[in-house]
Every structure is written in C-alpha cells, then in structure tokens.
Structure 1
Amino acid sequence: MDLEAMAAALTASGRYRVLTKLEPSAATPPPSGGDWRMGLFVDVETTGLDLVHDEIIELAMVRFYYGLDGQVLGIGETFQGFREPSRPITPEITALTGIDEAIVRGQVIDPDAVRDFAASAAIVIAHNAAFDRPMLERFSEVFVTRPWGCSMTQIDWASEGADGLKLVHLAAQAGFFYDGHRAANDCAAAIELLRRRLPVSGDFGLARLLSAARRATWRLRAEGAPFEMKDALKGRGYRWDDGSRGAPRAWWVDVGEEALEAEIAFLRAEIYQRDVDFAPRRIDASDRFSARI
C-alpha cells in the first residue's frame, strides 16, 4: 500500500493529523563554497537538575552547517557518549532518560575528544541552554569560550502558534516525531526544527535564533527588593536567584537595551518607591546562559 498516499488522504479529510517519523540524516561534508559556519547542537542527560552537584551521564553533540542567512545547509558528524557518575542513578532518572546503571557502567567521556569536537563551532545551541551550558562548562573549558544560543527561549514559539516549549511537543506541531530517550535524537529533532521555516513568520527557525543570540541584553538585579513586591516582580517576568551560585540573593530580569531605562524606572517607582542606583550587566552570546553571571 502507498503509505504516503494514505497519509495525504487522511490529512486531506480534515479529521486526522499524520506525524512522520524523523529518520536520521547521514553526515555530509561541509559545503564546498560560499560563506558558511559550523554550528554545534548539544544535549546532556544528567543525574538530576542541580547545576552544582549533579553529573552528566550522557552527552551528544551534532555538527551542522549554516549560511549567514540562518539556513541550515547540511548535517555533520555526531559525537555521543555515556559516563558513569560518582553515585547511583535513581529510578526517577532512569524513567526519565532511559539510562540505567548497566548502560553507564565503566563508561567514560574523554574531555580531550569533546574539546576537539567542539572547538571549531561558531555557536553552540541547546534546547534549554540555561541548563546545558552550566553543566558542560563544568565538564570542559571549551564550552566557556564558545558563543551560545537556545532553541527553547530564543525563538518566540508562542507567536508561531506553539502551545508549549518541550522539544517533543514542538516536533509534533511541526508534523514529525522521533525516538526519544537518546540525547543524539533530541539534537537531530532540534536541528530539524531550526532548518524549517516557522509557520507564521516564514523565517527559518535558525535565522530567528541567531538574530536573538547576536543581540546584547542587560541584566538587572533587584537586590533588597521588599518581600511584599515579589508577586509584582514575578508578574513582570523576574526570576529568583537563591544565591547558590555565589551572587547575593535577588530577583533578576534580562531586557534589551531599548527597554533598559523603562525597566529601571519601573523598579524605582513601583518596587523600591525611591531613587535607587543600579549597575546593569551587559550580556551577549559569549556569557549568556552561563552560571558565571
């Protein structure tokens, strides 16, 4: 039976949505000419969500090539490895990742091999870079020196009709599914989203991400803000820093340069209700998402 014809008929009926399985792409050589860059998509599985104490148990990195217009031109090599952590993997993590003690027993990820694989990337991207970057910076210095982007937060998925930010949900809304529980498959699915045009704007997903990554933002920390103002800060998009990374505890937000003065005015008028000096920190792709800020 002609499966493609069947899928087309089901879709045309208006009563069904058919998802296509994402098949792995064979690695291709870099483009032979033109102005292009190499990107690196990364994903880690870990023993938990603590950025200081939990450990990487799987790392996948997939190279891809792109033009300066943000169009993905091809997929390169994949690096994938497991690592045995210093303490047992919990049943909850096994249920979430599919990784158990038998898979990682005796496994080591070579930091030198990771460094060599990532060193030539013009940008490193993850789906939730605020988690992956701190984890990887602890593992290898190469991730400290690379610019970073985030496919989850640096594309306005809501304006493109998405109703969630999880990779599996974005893939389904784009019309495909993939085998989960493997970091390399997550990388491949995310690159597929970035290589497609977004459904509303028509822009390439990667072009939209690169545009956001190239813009500088400013971090404002509302240190010593009155406790009773926490709901107002949360409602405006501020996040809480509990001080576990070494900075004083405070609410913080990142804003573009065009919104900086208005945000300072809001803090003075609505939160502190007095004149307060601030020292905003400029953030760009070289340090964005890092635990160092």
Structure 2
Amino acid sequence: MPGEISVKQNRLEELAHTLEAEGTYKVLRRIAPIPLNRHLPHDQTRLGIFLDLETTGLDPQHDEIIEFGMVPFAYTLNGTILGTLPTFSRLREPNQPIPPDITTLTGITQEMVAGKTVSPDDVAQFTAQASLIVAHNARFDRLFAENFWDGFSKLPWACSMEDVPWQAEGFEGRSLGYLAMQAGWFFDGHRATDDCLAGVTLLNTRLPKTQAPALSALLREARKPRWQIWAENAPFEYKDKLKARGYRWNDGSNSHPKAWFTEVPLEQKDEELHFLKTAIGLDAAAIPTREITAWDRFSARA
C-alpha cells in the first residue's frame, strides 16, 4: 500500500509539472506535515513551535482562547527546517458564549467546545524543549498566550508576518493564506493547527530573490536587538506623517507614554532620532528610547 501511494503521488506530481510547464496553469499543493528525515547533532539544531490561537475576540484583557494550535518543527541554526513533529490541537470552552461572527470565521461552535479544557500545565509540558515561538501576527497571539501561561513570557518570539521581507521578495499582502497561495500552497484556514502547518510550510519556502529559506530571514531579524523610539509630545498636526512612517499609537493604558512610537534596528536608531528632530521638531536628547529583544518584543511589556 505505501508503495502504491508513492507511485500515485509521483504520477500526480508529473501531471502538475506538465500543467505548469504550459505557462497557463499554476498548481497549488495542499499543505501537509513535513517529514523529519534528517537527524543532526543536538548542538546544531533547535526546536521551534509555530503557534496559532483562535479566540472569542480581539481584546486579550476580556476575550478568551477557544482553540490552541501548536506545531513543533526542528530547524538548524542557519534557518533550514528539518521537519515537523506531532502537533498540539486543543479546544477550550470559554466562560462566555462564542460570538456568532467568531463561529462564522473559525467554524468553532459552542457545542464543539462544551466541556473541553486546556491547562497551563498542558502547554508548559508541550513547550518544554522550545527555543523559539513563532506566530503569524505575534502582536496578537503573544498577548493572549502570556495571559494564559506566564511561561510564554520567558521564551523568545518571532513573527512570520513582520520578520520576513515578503514585499521585498515580490509577495503581495501579508495574510497567511494569501502568502501561502503565492508560494504554491493551499490549506483550510482559520483552524489553529491548519494555520500553524501553513506557517511552517511558508517558512520552509525559499524566497524568490535571495533563494534563502524564509526561516533564515526570520531568524536574522528576530536576533537583532531593536530600539523602541517614542515621539512623546509630538504636535498633533504631525500624526499623519508619523503614521505614514510606520509609527503606532499607544493610548497610555499601559505603563508606556501616551504617544506615537516605532521600533527600528540599531543601525536605524540615529536616523530615526534625526527624523523626529528635523521633521517633527522634537528635542533628540529628550526622546524616550529603550532596547527591545525577542524576549519582550510583541508583548505588553514592549
């Protein structure tokens, strides 16, 4: 039977290549786990976990997780994915009913989660060997994840949406499904484990221009110390200029200033301070700055 499946798969691949060779077709392949066929010494490899959460809404202070998806993957220090390992896929019943629009988006109903639980200990055990957590839009997932289990705050995080130069490599958009489609893949989206497998597959893709695995670009970006720069006391009339430059607004409800801010690599820090001084009129010596690493980036602490 395995031999028959292999022959069938090879035949289908031949047909796909024939269609693509015509130049008028593009064949999308269904995303699947990546077989772990190579085993390297432990000091040459790390374990990453791609995480995706389905929640009752967008507010981590009031909304709840209804599905945990985690897909572990082995990778080398230079960013080559060796394969995926067994997944973590759990539903969780929230304290409040699942809103109808969330059920429409995810397909998760109240009946599906009834009586289902996930404990912080379950998550801690599964992530015990992880060296890195990756999410597609880590600014969303990390806040919910850390509220659920504090151990996530002690691990470095990276974002497959922000930390890979998709646009520079010729991709359009940044949504997971659209990026996967442009890379030649399709999957059933908006369920946590499916999204995780899609994310790992995308990181395993070679970027069109550099021909490097997307994971290598993500690791390079995640390892960079970054500087958070606050345009505190910037005149109101410059808000559009700051927003156009990539600054985000902080409403002051956390421990940080009520102001526009951005994050830049160390090599861009002086340039950004110069911009705030010359284009916004701020005193460069009085601009609040702080270093951010992968251990705090995307969290409420940052």
TM-score clears 0.5:
yes
1:191 aligns with 2:200: yes
Which residue of the partner structure matches residue 233 of structure 1?
242
**How many Å separate the matches in 2 of 1:287 and 1:225?**
26
**Residues 68 and 275 of structure 1, relative CA distance in 2, 3 Å threshold:** closer
Q: CA deviation at 1:30?
A: 8.4
Q: Unpaired runs of 5+ in structure 2?
A: 1-7
Q: Which moved more, 1:269-278 or 1:255-264?
A: 269-278
Structure 2 CA distance for aligned equivalents of residues 148 and 274 of structure 1: 33
Query: 1:80 deviation in Å?
Result: 1.1
Q: Which residue of 2 aligns with 1:9?
A: 18
**Secondary structure of 2:111's match?**
helix
Aligned to 2:264: 255
Report the equivalent of 1:101: 110
Structure 2 residue corresponding to 1:120, chosen from 121, 129, 133: 129
- Deviation of 1:146 after TM superposition, in Å, equals 0.3
Q: 181-190 or 267-276, which moves further after superposition?
A: 267-276
CA–CA separation in structure 2 for the residues paired with 1:268 and 1:46: 41
Which letter maps to 2:126?
F
Residue 42 of structure 1, aligned match among 45, 51, 55? 51
Select between 187-196 and 263-272 the one with higher mean Cα deviation: 263-272
Q: Structure 2-normalised TM-score?
A: 0.92
Q: How far, CA to CA, are the matches of 2:12 and 2:254 in structure 1? A: 53
Q: Is the 8 A contact 1:19 1:175 kept in 2?
A: yes
Query: 1:104-135, CA deviations, whole angstroms, 9 ceiling, x for partnerless residues?
Result: 11111021010111122111100111111111
CA distance in 2, matches of 1:25, 1:216: 31
How is 1:139-288 mapped onto 2 (pairs within 5 angstroms)?
139-272=148-281, 274=283, 277-288=286-297
Over residues 169-196 of structure 1, what are the superposed CA-to-partner deviations in whole Å (9 max), with x where a residue is unaligned? 1111111111223211111111111122
* Cα distance in 1 between the residues matched to 2:37 and 2:13: 30
- Whether the 8 Å contact between 2:37 and 2:82 is mirrored in structure 1 is no
For residues 86-118 of structure 1, give each alpha carbon's deviation from its aligned partner in whole angstroms, at most 9, with x where no partner exists.
Answer: 111111111111111111111110210101111
Following the alignment from structure 1 to structure 2, what is the Cα–Cα distance between the partners of residues 23 and 233? 42
Alignment of 1:2-81 (within 5 A): 2-25=11-34, 28=36, 31=39, 33=41, 35-81=44-90
- Structure-2 change in CA distance of 1:273 and 1:136 (3 Å): closer
CA drift at 1:19:
0.7
Q: Give, as a single letter, the amino acid of the residue that structure 2 aligns with 1:33.
A: P
Secondary structure of the 1:160 match is: coil
- 8 Å CA contact 1:44–1:59 kept in 2: the answer is yes
**Count of aligned residue pairs for this structure pair:** 292
* Inter-partner Cα distance in structure 2 for 1:64 and 1:78: 10
**Contact (CA 8 Å) 2:232, 2:260: kept in 1 or not?**
yes
- Structure 2 Cα separation of the partners of residues 6 and 29 of structure 1: 26
How far residue 274 of structure 1 moved from its aligned partner, in angstroms, is: 4.9
Aligned counterparts of 2:212 and 2:37: Cα–Cα separation in 1: 25
SS at match of 2:198: helix
State the identity %. 47
How far has the Cα of 1:277 moved from its partner? 0.5
Give the letter aligned to residue 278 of structure 1: I
Q: Name the SS of the counterpart of 2:85 in structure 1.
A: strand
CA contact (8 A) 1:44 1:56 kept: yes
Change in CA separation of 1:184 and 1:30 when aligned onto 2, cut-off 3 Å: farther
AA aligned opposite 1:183: A
Q: Which runs of 5+ in 1 are unaligned?
A: none
Cα deviation, residue 4, structure 1: 3.1
RMSD: 1.8
Letter aligned with residue 57 of structure 1:
I
